[in-house]
Amino acid sequence: MKIISWNVNGLRAVSKKGFADWLKKESPDVLGLQEIKCESSQVPNELKYVEGYKTYFNPAARKGYSGTGLFTKIEPVSIKTGFGIEKFDIEGRIQEVDYGDFIFFNIYFPNGKSREDRLQYKLDFYDASLEYFDKLVKAGRKILIAGDYNTAHNEIDLARPKENEEISGFLPIERKWMDALVARGYIDCFREFEKGPNNYTWWSMRSWARTRNVGWRIDYFFCSANARSLVKNCYHLPDVIGSDHCPVVLEI
């Protein structure tokens, strides 16, 4: 089973860049999208009705902002769109998809760069999500957590760590939450298979950063410890363009 996570930085925009052809060719069993930036009514028909897939979209209350989307060949048992906390749920950042044997989370974690209150919002979202995950794991559920986490965990996860130590996305307080995630037993699936440097998932659109591979690894699949036996491989698709992020693939 192949699951793909991708921050498309606008579903309408990426639809004009060969997204439908890519989806047909790659043919994942499950595709979780982040930052769709559109309401369900604005999704192009060629993406709303894709042969072989059921589609579910979770837009933000604010137009043209945030939002998540799901394409799935497998009928979910259920889908939830939030943690039950209004200030988080209204931004369309969460899709919790129960497939029976495991729960798949498609999450667009907040960006904290714009101002101090958004950084605090991001940290609060982090804490709420970890508490939510832990409850499910304690209840015996296996979980897979995909998405744009908006933080590079370790120095190996970005090209220029020293220059970004005071930038949101690599602040000590953000990285500390990533440490806590690992300490609670959650596993960075990509690092189970690839230990080396220069593996990134996001590149600035400025200064030919992608061409020069000056990037950040901020898009992840984490799994709960009890789900590790499901994971067979995890890798990036850096050659897939259309967004400033690249897709991440999990095989289970």
Catalytically active residues are 148
**Beta bridge pairs of residue 215:** 203
Burial of 103 (0-12, 13-18, 19+ CB in 10 A): buried
Q: Which residues contact 70 (CB under 8 A, 6 or more apart)?
A: 30, 31, 32, 33, 55, 56, 57, 79, 95, 97, 106
CA-to-CA distance for 121 and 119, rounded, in angstroms? 5
SS3 at position 21:
helix
Q: In whole angstroms, how far apart are CA 98 and each of 103, 105, 221?
A: 4, 9, 16
**Beta bridge pairs of residue 147:** 107, 220
Residue 235 contacts residue 219 (beta carbons within 8 Å)? no
